[in-house]
Structure 1
């Protein structure tokens, strides 16, 4: 699963953090074809005076950074953006208040599973989707 960092202003999610992250996770697993159980998602809720947001957004502005291995097509990335926006609508997040940034990191630049480079073993899913 890609590493996901979600940042919002505190106060509006009202105890639904787990469900909010699950909605993002579902979109990622569906479009990138990653296993549901292999997840790293972090939700940071900032005090409003600690998180300056664009003037054209509302209080539910959601900033999402997804760090993942390269290989996905532009069509797959577009499908990911749409799926996340659709899944967050149930939380009252307007489509225009979501910004998603993909950060692609080569597998040899990620150490995991005992200090091994991710390029040295089968991660369990295909990234060329």
Structure 2
């Protein structure tokens, strides 16, 4: 399972949200073998005067938080980061300096989905990659 939040300055992020969503989904499929049809992306828009970031970053600064079942290998996570950095830079001109990615992993039993505990679900994809 995966729930993804994307944070950024509203004037920058809103206009590219479809491309951002497509890129994230492609990268999740490539790195995590995540089903293409499973898409739970939430865009959280921040007004420019309410978004503080480190020196060297621009108004394109974007933060991606991925909540997922635990089980992916370090290699799969690094692959995901690399795919995201490359595609954001090539397709959106958002440099790696302006992109932050965090993966929050929890055991399946910490998720409640479709009326069940996540560890009781029958999944159509692998988690241990």
- Tell me if both proteins adopt one fold, taking TM over 0.5 as the criterion: yes
TM-score (norm 1): 0.93
User: Where does structure 1 differ by over 3 angstroms across 4 or more consecutive aligned residues?
Assistant: none
RMSD: 1.3
Q: Which residue does 2:108 correspond to in 1?
A: 107
Q: Evaluate the alpha carbon distance shift between residue 75 and residue 98 of structure 1 in structure 2; reply closer, same or farther with a 3 A threshold.
A: same
In the alignment, is the contact (CA less than 8 A) between 1:9 and 1:48 conserved in 2?
yes
What are structure 2's unaligned runs of at least 5 residues? Answer: none
Q: Deviations over 1:64-123 (max 9, x none)?
A: 10000111111111000001111211111011111111100110010111x201100212
Matched, 1:79 2:79: yes
Matched, 1:17 2:21: no
TM superposition shift of 1:14: 6.1
What are structure 1's unaligned runs of at least 5 residues? Answer: none
Q: Which residue does 1:70 correspond to in 2?
A: 70
In the alignment, is the contact (CA less than 8 A) between 2:108 and 2:117 conserved in 1?
yes
In the alignment, is the contact (CA less than 8 A) between 1:21 and 1:43 conserved in 2?
no
Greater helix share, 1 or 2? 2
The SS at the match of 1:96 is helix
In the alignment, is the contact (CA less than 8 A) between 1:63 and 1:99 conserved in 2?
yes
TM superposition shift of 1:9: 0.9
Alignment coverage as a number of residue pairs: 128
The SS at the match of 2:55 is coil
How far, CA to CA, are the matches of 2:14 and 2:45 in structure 1? 11
TM-score (norm 2): 0.93
